[in-house]
Each structure stands twice: as structure tokens, then as C-alpha cells.
């Protein structure tokens, strides 16, 4: 089932998400719904808070970018309870990022594209890998969502000031999207 994407301004995006246990009810269905929602909105990653669920779950499939980044051809991951350590010996660079919860906003974000990430998969098998390149960026972006952060939090105060009116429009629900969203207009209906 395709779920609405929660837009910037919705409190669920600012919460630290809850740890997921094997007893979590409906986990398989939630992951399937996150996948369907991500593909329908042409994203390359999605975090559970973006569909209104405060749980440490991320789904990534960045294979759509394989022409630019060949290493992304096999980049499908279900990350449960991920923990990232940014490794200092990686390259630190700025690249444009976007987010399904912030339609129309694309800004350069400086990150180190080398991480160590520990997570559990959908069967709660533990994984521990070092990831480099663009995928490390996607993982950091998605895992930020589980800490109640969004990519614009990484921008300079000046950059943030320059996009302020766009952000306010998203908060007010004044935004056009090709996918279903949940924003201020839905909150106003009682
Ligand atoms: Ni995002």
C-alpha cells in the first residue's frame, strides 16, 4: 500500500524514532508499504518517520542512480536499528541532496562519505559494514531521519535563511507534489 509522505513541519519528523524489536507488530507489512511508497514517489531511500511511523526502520534502493554511480547497481538495504560511525579518513565533500519530505528543495550538504554502519535486517540478523561513496551519504541522510533530523539541518544559517520562504510554504502545505503527502492541510481537517 502506498502511504502519504509526511512533510517537513510534521512533528513525527522531529522525534527520535523508537528502537524496533522482533515483536514489532506488522513489521513485514510496514517495510513492504515503505518500499511501495518510495518507488511510487521516485525516492532512493525512505525512513519510517516519513510515513508517520516513529520506528528505526530505513529502506534504501539507490539503483536508479547507477548510471552516475555504478557502485549503486546493488544497493538495496533494509536497515533496522542502524548505528552509524562516520570514519575520519573518508573524503569530505558537498553534494546536492533532496528529500521526499522537503519537495522542491535541493541543497549541497557536506558529509564524509565513509562510514561504519551496524544494523539488523528484517530477520534481525546483525550486520556490520564499512560503506564508502554516495551510498554512505544516502545512509547518513536516511539515518538522520531516525534521530529527528533532516538534511537542511546541515546547512549554514545563511543558506537556511535563503530557503526560508520555501520551507514556510512546505510547513503551511502550500506545495505541489506528484505523490501523496500529509502536511498542514490534513492537520487542519477535523
Ligand atoms: Ni529524507
Do 181 and 7 meet the contact criterion of CB atoms below 8 Å apart?
yes
pLDDT given at position 84: 98
Catalytic (active site) residue 142: yes
Ligand 1 centroid, distance to 114 Cα (angstroms): 19
Ligand 1 centroid, distance to 157 Cα (angstroms): 20
Pairing of strands 92-97, 107-112: antiparallel
Q: What is the pLDDT of residues 129-176, one digit of tens each?
A: 999 999 999 999 999 999 999 999 999 999 999 999 999 999 998 998
pLDDT given at position 53: 98
Given 25, 97, 142, 185, the catalytic residue: 142
27 φ, ψ (degrees, to nearest 5):
-60, -50
Alpha carbon distance 144, 79 (integer Å): 13
pLDDT given at position 112: 97
Residue numbers of the chain with a pLDDT score lower than 70? 185-190
Ligand 1 centroid, distance to 98 Cα (angstroms): 7
pLDDT given at position 185: 67
pLDDT given at position 15: 98
pLDDT given at position 168: 96
Amino acid at each position: 500500500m502506498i502511504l502519504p509522505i509526511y512533510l517537513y513541519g510534521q512533528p513525527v519528523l522531529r522525534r527520535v524514532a523508537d528502537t524496533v524489536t522482533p515483536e514489532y507488530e506488522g513489521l513485514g507489512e510496514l517495510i513492504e508499504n515503505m518500499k511501495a511508497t518510495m518507488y511510487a514517489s521516485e525516492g532512493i531511500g525512505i525512513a519510517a518517520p516519513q510515513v508517520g511511523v516513529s520506528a528505526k526502520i530505513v529502506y534504501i534502493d539507490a539503483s536508479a542512480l547507477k548510471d552516475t554511480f555504478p557502485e549503486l547497481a546493488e544497493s538495496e538495504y533494509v536497515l533496522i536499528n542502524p548505528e552509524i560511525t562516520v570514519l575520519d579518513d573518508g573524503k569530505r565533500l558537498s553534494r546536492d541532496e533532496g528529500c521526499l519530505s522537503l519537495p522542491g528543495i535541493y541543497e549541497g550538504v557536506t558529509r564524509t562519505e565513509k562510514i561504519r554502519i551496524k544494523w539488523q535486517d528484517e530477520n534481525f540478523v546483525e550486520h556490520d559494514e564499512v560503506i564508502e561513496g554516495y551510498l554512505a551519504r544516502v545512509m547518513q541522510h536516511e539515518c538522520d531521519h531516525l534521530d529527528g533530523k533532516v538534511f537542511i539541518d546541515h546547512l549554514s544559517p545563511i543558506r537556511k535563511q535563503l530557503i526560508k520562504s520555501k520551507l514556510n510554504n512546505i510547513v503551511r502545505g502550500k506545495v505541489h507534489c506528484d505523490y501523496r503527502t500529509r502536511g498542514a492541510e490534513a492537520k487542519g481537517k477535523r
